[in-house]
Structure 1
Amino acid sequence: MSQSLVNKFFGTAGVQILGRGLTVILGIVLARTLGPEEFGRYSFILSLIAIAVIPTIAGMPQLLVREIANAQLDKRWGELKGILNWAMGYIVAVSFVVMLLLALAIEVKWIRPDIGNLLWVGLILIPIRGVLARQNALLNGLRFPVLAQLPQGVLTSFFVLVLVGFILLLGFRVDAYFLLQIQIIASLIGLIISAYFVSSKKPKEIKSITAEYNIKQWHKTLLPFTLLAVISTMNNELASVFLGFLADEESVAYFKVAMQGVTLLALGLAAINTVIAPQISRYYRQGDMVATQELLTKSVRLSALTSLPFALLLIFCSKWIVTLLFGVKYLAAAPIITILCIGQVVNVLMGSVGLVLQMTGNEKKALKALSITMIMTVGLLLILVPLYQAVGAAISVTISMIFWNILMFFDVKRNTGLITIFK
């Protein structure tokens, strides 16, 4: 296994584990402080915001990583500068439209008043997260994966945790409304730090060169990436939204608590994807299939090695872990963790299926698989959530995750000849 891949993986994985660890600690603090109902309300709002952000950033990071990597490889500095300018304008414009539409929905009472009041505060997160996504994609496309992950993945969570801890020490009451304000402050700090990283790492060649724009082609390429990101995010957030509407806030809280632990399993795969995304694009563009396959084989082994031991711990010790970290009142999250772990184990062992399709120009195949999966997820959630609440949501998510991994695996093999699965 190449030393460069391992070094970059552990650097990126270390940052992501640190960030996820901070998120888990923050989740524990908030869950214990707020209780299931208020914590569920806060989590529900964040899920709504995540869906609201979709039009702003959907597909943009994947497009930027691929185009920046290719432009740097071919030394097309004018085009690189152009796509960065275009991406910023696109994000700002779409963010403004989304914020206006949500403000209108709140004003005409299309959204429940108690949720609408919280959503008012969260609107500002839409452009902040959009610009952060652009900065992260730029750094990752230029092969600085650790710096790409730091602002949003680690520093934002760190500042939220510090601010929350400080407020609690002062004896003030913390609720969902107050937490959203803290999220905005922390995100702004992360944005400033990200801007500094971008300023120091951008190729010097683009500073004085005239920007070249290929807007028609970028929009054409962005469309499938956008649909992919929309459906992928919807698949991730639908469970919480359905629980919020069809069950209750406590069910959302139990599901979110379970997700706190289970998402740690995907960190290995997420870290390796961050590292290998520009490399896959470069190797495949150069026609070096041997190097591409070798990279994929090493990457899935590395992610499995770091994820599977933790999966076994979560499956067999879920009750003990939940009780220790969150308290007895969240014990209902234990069976949810076990169910979600099964899907994540399959996700890790199948390798970087979606990433390979996107980086090799087969994003329409990934879009088709995710579209079918989203329809399946909605159907399963409609049937299982009213019957089994959070457990039903976990079953729905797990079945869907296994299904789309299998579909994409065969798409990768059929369209590229590459094998992503662990072997």
Structure 2
Amino acid sequence: MGTIGIQLGAKGATLVTAILFARALGPEEFGRYGFVMSIITLAALPTVAGLPQLLVREISQYTLYGQNALLSGLLKWSNRYVLLISMFSIIIIYTLAVLNLWDEAVKALILSAFLLIPLKGGLSRQGAVINGFHRPELAQLPTLVLAPIFALLVSSWLYFYTSEDLTSQKLVYIQIFAHISAAFLGIMIVNLVTRQSVAITTPIYRIKKWHKALLPFTIITVVGTMNSELTTVMLGFFGFEESIGYFRVAVTGMTVLALSLTAVNSVSGPKIASLYKQKNLDETQNVLTQSVRLSVMTSVPLAGFLILFGEYFISFLFGKEYIPAASILSILCVGQIVNVSMGSVGLVLNMTGNEKFALRAQLFNLVLMIGLLVTLVPFYQGIGAAIAVSSGMVFWNLLMAYDVYRLTGLKTWIRF
């Protein structure tokens, strides 16, 4: 409940920030800004892909058995890994920009936003380390609380108390400032939770083992992130920047529905890893049952509200110019209801050593998504994108829930 409370505040700040950005920029420029942020997210994938899941699982097990030397080695190795891979990602994104892959407006934004790549990687690593020490409430602070609050405060000051107009370029600079500020707090929290375990410990490295374990997690995250960001990129590829603005407004509403599931996963991930390692299946099932019940009770009523009154909700918050996003939101809500009702399917597969089956489901979903996006987006734009996203969400949830039950005997879906 503490984690949910933190995330409620964080999502509230994110929602207010999105409203401010959308109103200040208008659908087309807001869509361009969203397009660039999706490109940066994809560029940051090699930096963050799979590492948080690996860190949570390994740290939970090392602390369980008091393996402090391995824990110290893992922490040092993961920090170097993020820095090194970030440099490669920056070089690639800079090269693509210089080759004029995008138009000048998008290119200028991308070149000013590349610093977000190592910042996203560092914040993701910090959160995973803190969560691995069973401190999910602290793990949320840098990325989900401080970064959006800093962005909201700075953008609000510029919007309400200065004569300057907010532009997509300024929003990029605001995001960089917010991420840097959050990263400093994350460093302090990581030092606080790890100092007793690694203070005077000589690190032991098992880099080959970690890289081998990281590979399936990495592929899963890459495919999963592509599933979520591909829609924006596809709309931008076909030149529907205004539709990107509508779609991102709708996604902002949908993410509120996933809040409880995200919070529950933050708490239950380390518990599932530890309990399953101890072969305590009854207690693992109890964690899953309670988690999905909490997620459904908090999310489904809100989904019903957004489906029935989404047009009024969007018009009131974002302005009448974004009313076309209401239909997109309703379609996304249907998929999100299924997502929440099926429980923590991907998390359970990852935490129980069955990453390859989560990967299989994500790959199938990616193929399905690409086919639906290519077919529907050119004709139906944002509506087609929403249908593709919801269809994929239903498909991979059902497939992974079946795999969890078949492989572990655990039931992740809602049961009363």
Distance 2:165 2:326 in 1: 28
Match of 1:301 among 282, 288, 293: 293
Q: 1:280 aligns with which of 249, 262, 272?
A: 272
Q: What amino acid is aligned across from residue 77 of structure 1 in structure 2?
A: N
User: Match for residue 376 of structure 2?
Assistant: 384
Question: Equivalent residues in 2 for 1:181-260 (5 A)?
Answer: 181-260=173-252
1:268 is matched with which residue: 260, 268, 272?
260
Aligned to 1:369: 361
Partner residue in 1 for 2:108:
117
Matches for 1:11-22 after TM superposition, within 5 Å: 11-22=2-13
TM-superposed deviation, 1:155: 0.9
Shift of residue 357, structure 1, vs aligned partner: 0.1
Q: d(CA) in 2 for partners of 1:399 and 1:205?
A: 45
**1:81 aligns to what SS in structure 2?**
helix
Q: Secondary structure at the match of 1:202?
A: helix
**Structure 1 residue 387 displacement after superposition:** 0.8
Residue 56 of structure 2 is aligned to residue 65 of structure 1: yes
- How big is each residue's C-alpha offset from its partner over 1:385-422, in whole Å with a ceiling of 9 and x where there is no partner? 00100000000000000000000011001111100000
* Partner residue in 2 for 1:416: 408
* AA partner of residue 96 (structure 1): M
The equivalent residue for 1:55 is 46
CA-to-aligned-CA distance 1:271-323 (integer Å, 9 cap, x gap):
00000000000010001111111111111001111111111110110011011
C-alpha separation in 2, matches of 1:76 and 1:172: 55
- Per-residue deviation, 1:113: 2.5
C-alpha spacing 1:78/1:312, structure 2 compared with 1 (3 Å): same
User: 2:27 matched to which residue of 1?
Assistant: 36
Residue 203 of structure 1 deviates from its aligned partner by 4.4
Give the structure 1 partner of residue 156 of structure 2. 165
Q: Which residue of 2 aligns with 1:7?
A: none
SS in 1 for 2:201: coil
Q: Quick check: 1:106–1:113 contact (8 Å CA) kept in 2?
A: no
Question: Does the 8 Å CA contact 1:247/1:385 hold for their aligned counterparts?
Answer: no
Letter aligned with residue 359 of structure 1: M
Aligned equivalents of 1:222 and 1:67: distance in 2? 11
Give the deviation of 1:205 after TM superposition: 3.0
One-letter amino acid of the counterpart of residue 324, structure 2: A
Q: Which residue type is aligned with residue 130 of structure 1?
A: G
Name the SS of the counterpart of 1:211 in structure 2.
coil
**Who is 1:143 aligned against?**
134
Question: Which whole-Å CA distance do the structure 1 matches of 2:183 and 2:273 have between them?
Answer: 27
Q: State which drifts further: 212-221 or 194-203.
A: 194-203
Q: Within 5 A, what are the aligned runs for 1:303-318?
A: 303-318=295-310
Residue 152 in structure 1 maps to residue 143 in structure 2: yes
Letter in 2 for 1:326: F
Which AA in structure 2 matches 1:151? P
| Cα offset, 1:247, TM superposition | 4.0
Q: TM-score, normalised by structure 2?
A: 0.98
* 1:355 matched residue in structure 2: 347
Query: Could you tell me whether the CA contact under 8 Å between 1:51 and 1:237 is conserved in 2?
Result: yes
Partner of 2:96: 105
Letter in 2 for 1:329: E
One-letter code of the match for 1:240? T
Consecutive aligned runs of 4 or more in structure 1 exceeding 3 Å deviation = none
2:74 pairs, out of 43, 58, 83, with: 83
| Mapped contact 1:20–1:153 kept (Cα < 8 A) | yes
Superposition pairs of residues 319-358 of structure 1, within 5 angstroms: 319-358=311-350
- Normalising to structure 1: TM-score of the pair? 0.97
Contact 1:247 1:386 in 2 (8 A): no
User: 1:92 aligned to 2:92?
Assistant: no
Determine whether 1:290 maps to 2:267. Answer: no
Q: Name the structure 2 match of 1:132.
A: 123
Q: 1:12–1:145: 8 Å Cα contact kept in structure 2?
A: yes
Structure 2 unpaired stretches of 5+: none
Contact 1:62 1:137 in 2 (8 A): yes
Q: Which runs of 5+ in 1 are unaligned?
A: 1-9
Q: How many residues align?
A: 414
| AA at the equivalent of 1:21 | G
- 1:154 CA drift (Å): 1.1
- 1:167-201: CA deviation from partner (whole Å, max 9, x where unpaired): 12111121111110110011100000111111111
1:147 counterpart SS class: helix
Q: The residue matched to 2:134 in structure 1 has which SS?
A: coil
